[in-house]
Structure 1
Amino acid sequence: MAFGTAPPGSGAGEVDRILDRRRLRRKLAFWRVFGALMLVGLLAIFAGWWSGEGVSRQQPHVARVFLGGTIRAERERVEMLDDIAKSGARAVIIAIDSPGGTVVGSQALFDALRRLNAAKPVVGVVEGMAASGAYIAALGTERIFAPRNALVGSIGVLFQYPDVTGLMKRVGVSLEEIKSSPLKAAPNGLTPTPPGAREAVASMVGDSYAWFRDLVAERRHISGETLEKAADGRVFTAHQALPLGLVDELGDERAARAWLAREKGVPEDLGLREWSTGRSGDGFRWLHAAAAGLDGLGLGAFARFIESAGEAATVGRLDGLLALWHPRPGE
Structure 2
Amino acid sequence: MKLKLLTLLILWTTLSTAQNLYIPSFERYLFTATSDGSEGLRVNPANMGFRHKINFAVYLSSLRKFSVKNYETGLFLQTMNLGIGMKSVRLGDSTSLLISSSTGFGGEGFSFGVGLDYFKIGGEKFKTSINAGVISRPFNFISISFVAHNLTGRYFQNTPLEKRYTAGIGIRPFGNDILTLSSDLILKEKQKPKNFKFGAELKIVNGLNLYAMLDNTKTFSDKKTFIFGFSINLQNVGFKIFTDFENSNIKATASTFFTREVMNTFIYPVKKIAEVEIRGVIPDYKEQPSIFSKPRKSVHDLIDEIEKASTDKDINGLLLKIYPFTGEIKLYELEGLTQELAEAVKKVKKAGKPVVAYLGGEMAGVNELYLASVADKIVIAPECMIVGYGAVIDVSRLKSFFEKFGIEWDAMTAGEYKSTFHSFYTDSATPNQAKLIEGLVDEIHKQMIEQISKSRNINFTDETIEEISGGLIPPRAKELGIVDEIGFYNEAKKMINKLANNRDDENINLTKLDKRKYWDKTWGIIPKIAVIGVHGAIVTGESQPPLPFPLLNERLTGSETVVKQINSAVKDKSIKAIILRVNSGGGSALASNEIYSALKEARKKKPVVVSFGNVAASGGYYVACSSDRIFANPGTLTGSIGVVYSKPVLEKLYENMKIKIETYKKGDHADMFSTTRHWNEIERKGIENALQYTYLGFKQKVAENRNMTLDDVEKLAQGKVYTGTQALDLKLVDELGGLKSAVDFAREKARIKAKYDVKFYPVPSLFGTQDGFIKSMLRNLFLNKLFE
- 1:319 maps to which residue? none
- The alignment status of 1:123 with 2:123, answered yes or no, reads no
| CA displacement, residues 54-105 of structure 1 (integer Å, 9 cap, x when unaligned) | 99xx641111112211111222221121111011111112111111111111
Kindly provide the amino acid, as one letter, of the partner of residue 197 in structure 1: E
- 2:534 maps to which residue? 67
- 1:227 maps to which residue? 713
Whole-angstrom CA distance in 2 between matches of 1:224 and 1:132 = 17
Question: Residue 189 of structure 1 is aligned with which of 675, 687, 695?
Answer: 675
Kindly provide the amino acid, as one letter, of the partner of residue 218 in structure 1: E
- 1:44 maps to which residue? 295
Q: In structure 2, the residue corresponding to 1:187 is in which secondary structure?
A: coil
Whole-angstrom CA distance in 2 between matches of 1:246 and 1:163 = 37
How far apart are residue 112 of structure 1 and its match?
A: 0.9
- The alignment status of 1:77 with 2:562, answered yes or no, reads yes
Alignment RMSD = 3.2
Q: In structure 1, the residue corresponding to 2:756 is in which secondary structure?
A: coil
- 1:248 maps to which residue? 734
How far apart are residue 40 of structure 1 and its match?
A: 11
Q: In structure 2, the residue corresponding to 1:107 is in which secondary structure?
A: helix
Whole-angstrom CA distance in 1 between matches of 2:756 and 2:699 = 37
Q: In structure 2, the residue corresponding to 1:44 is in which secondary structure?
A: coil
| CA displacement, residues 119-152 of structure 1 (integer Å, 9 cap, x when unaligned) | 1111000011111111111112211000111011
- 1:6 maps to which residue? none
- 2:492 maps to which residue? none
Whole-angstrom CA distance in 2 between matches of 1:268 and 1:242 = 31
Change (3 A) 1:60 1:258: closer
Question: Residue 652 of structure 2 is aligned with which of 158, 166, 178?
Answer: 166
Name which one, 1 or 2, has greater alpha-carbon Rg: 2
Once the two structures are superposed, the pairs formed by residues 170-181 of structure 1 within 5 Å of their partners are: 170-181=656-667
Change (3 A) 1:169 1:146: same
Larger displacement relative to structure 2 (153-162 or 182-191): 182-191
Change (3 A) 1:94 1:224: closer
Change (3 A) 1:197 1:97: same
- 1:279 maps to which residue? 764
CA contact (8 A) 1:175 1:191 kept: no
Kindly provide the amino acid, as one letter, of the partner of residue 169 in structure 1: E
Kindly provide the amino acid, as one letter, of the partner of residue 77 in structure 1: V
Kindly provide the amino acid, as one letter, of the partner of residue 569 in structure 2: I
Whole-angstrom CA distance in 2 between matches of 1:91 and 1:207 = 33
Kindly provide the amino acid, as one letter, of the partner of residue 627 in structure 2: T
* Runs (5+) with no aligned partner, structure 1: 1-37, 287-331
Kindly provide the amino acid, as one letter, of the partner of residue 211 in structure 1: G
Kindly provide the amino acid, as one letter, of the partner of residue 609 in structure 2: V
- 2:756 maps to which residue? 270
- 1:210 maps to which residue? 696
Number of residues of Structure 1 aligned to a counterpart in Structure 2? 241
- The structure with the largest strand share of the pair is 2
Q: In structure 2, the residue corresponding to 1:160 is in which secondary structure?
A: strand
Whole-angstrom CA distance in 1 between matches of 2:528 and 2:728 = 29
Whole-angstrom CA distance in 1 between matches of 2:597 and 2:651 = 40
Whole-angstrom CA distance in 2 between matches of 1:100 and 1:186 = 24
* Runs (5+) with no aligned partner, structure 2: 1-288, 302-514, 541-558, 769-788
Whole-angstrom CA distance in 1 between matches of 2:685 and 2:597 = 30
Give me the TM-score of the superposition, normalised by structure 2: 0.29
- 2:627 maps to which residue? 141
Whole-angstrom CA distance in 2 between matches of 1:262 and 1:92 = 12
Whole-angstrom CA distance in 1 between matches of 2:716 and 2:754 = 33
CA contact (8 A) 1:261 1:268 kept: no
Change (3 A) 1:46 1:214: closer
How far apart are residue 179 of structure 1 and its match?
A: 1.3
CA contact (8 A) 2:586 2:618 kept: yes
| CA displacement, residues 163-221 of structure 1 (integer Å, 9 cap, x when unaligned) | 22232333444433221111112032312322111111121111111111111111111
Change (3 A) 1:228 1:285: farther
CA contact (8 A) 1:131 1:155 kept: yes
Whole-angstrom CA distance in 1 between matches of 2:767 and 2:694 = 30
How far apart are residue 108 of structure 1 and its match?
A: 0.8
Change (3 A) 1:40 1:267: farther
How far apart are residue 46 of structure 1 and its match?
A: 10
Whole-angstrom CA distance in 2 between matches of 1:269 and 1:146 = 26
Once the two structures are superposed, the pairs formed by residues 9-24 of structure 1 within 5 Å of their partners are: none
- 1:13 maps to which residue? none
Whole-angstrom CA distance in 2 between matches of 1:67 and 1:279 = 12
Change (3 A) 1:176 1:250: same
Whole-angstrom CA distance in 2 between matches of 1:214 and 1:256 = 25
| CA displacement, residues 279-309 of structure 1 (integer Å, 9 cap, x when unaligned) | 34xxx897xxxxxxxxxxxxxxxxxxxxxxx
Whole-angstrom CA distance in 2 between matches of 1:86 and 1:285 = 29
How far apart are residue 254 of structure 1 and its match?
A: 2.4
Q: In structure 1, the residue corresponding to 2:662 is in which secondary structure?
A: coil
Whole-angstrom CA distance in 1 between matches of 2:292 and 2:639 = 35
| CA displacement, residues 224-243 of structure 1 (integer Å, 9 cap, x when unaligned) | 65322321102110111112
Q: In structure 2, the residue corresponding to 1:162 is in which secondary structure?
A: strand
Change (3 A) 1:134 1:268: farther
- 1:99 maps to which residue? 585
Change (3 A) 1:205 1:96: same
CA contact (8 A) 1:66 1:96 kept: yes
| CA displacement, residues 226-264 of structure 1 (integer Å, 9 cap, x when unaligned) | 322321102110111112221011111222233234444
